[in-house]
Amino acid sequence: MTIKLIALDIDGTLLDDEHRIGEKNLRTIRRVADQGVKVVLCTGRGAMSARPVMEELALEGVMITHNGASILDTKDNILYEDTFQITELVELIAYCRERGIHYDINTSLDMIVDRMSDEARKMYEAYLADPQMVEDVLQVTSPLVKFCMFGDKPVMDQVERDWPQREQKFRFIRSGDYFVDVMKPQVTKGRALQRLAEIWQIERTEILAMGNFFNDIEMLEFAGIGVAVANSPDPVKEAADEITVSNNEDAVHVVLSRYFPE
């Protein structure tokens, strides 16, 4: 089997728990990309915080961002986006404000907030994001691709219990212990990866994908080879074809070295 496309989740897969790319991961990804294999970051992050990772990897090309709601290149040309309007989120924003839950809204290129705690500021710094501050996000008229809630794990657990059953117009997905993302219901990393493969005329059997969390499941299922890292929850491991070492053990290097030996 010839692998022509590699789709990599960033947080919890490519990066270690300190948000760093291991030297082995870095060297192996660059080596494989130099062979002409397309390497695509497929992430819940937006362009703002995914782009520095692309730059560190010295990759040119395409990113799948916002859990598949946007596909864009490193020059910020939007190839595809699945959008909605802020007016569709009035009830959810009121819910967050009543409970003091931090949130941000996202276009394909920008992140916007109307409040900022010290905890949220530290989180954004860790994820290389610099949100734009406005007086009230409900006044934003730009098309959006994602609404994100951030908080302690028990708070996000409660959000998951409260919302997915009562809101059918959107998809609520846990992208990490401390995040719940909200997109249009058809948005998944897997669907975006399929769209990209069709554009590039690459068969799904020629795709290898790696991920670690619930927002990676459809991507792992779509790829010919879906690999879950050891730190993944059980449902993610069950969706994968293979399970490898954890994100703290250069998992990307371990897998790619097997399929692309030196």
Return the structure tokens found at 5. 């496309």
Give the pLDDT of residue 165: 67
Element (H, E) at 29: helix 23-34
3-state secondary structure of 235: helix
Stretch 13-41: mean pLDDT, rounded? 97
Contact 225, 37 (CB under 8 A): no
- Which residues contact residue 195 at a Cβ distance below 8 angstroms, ignoring those fewer than 6 apart? 71, 80
Across all residues in the chain, what is the average pLDDT?
95
Count CA within 13 A, CB hemisphere, residue 166. 9
3-state secondary structure of 180: strand
Give the pLDDT of residue 168: 73
pLDDT digits (tens, 9 = 90+) for 89-120: 999 999 999 999 999 999 999 999 999 999 99
Contact 8, 56 (CB under 8 A): no
Give the pLDDT of residue 77: 93
pLDDT digits (tens, 9 = 90+) for 158-204: 999 998 766 678 999 888 899 999 999 999 999 999 999 999 999 99
Return the structure tokens found at 89. 């989120």
Contact 111, 91 (CB under 8 A): no
Return the structure tokens found at 208. 């290898």
pTM (2 d.p.): 0.91
Domains and CATH numbers, the chain: 5-81+187-259 (3.40.50.1000), 86-183 (3.30.1240.10)
- Residue 254 and residue 24: Cα distance in Å, rounded? 9
Cβ-based neighbour number of residue 21 at 10 Å: 17
- Percentage of residues in the chain with pLDDT exceeding 90? 90
Residue recorded with tokens 């927002």: 215
Contact 103, 147 (CB under 8 A): yes
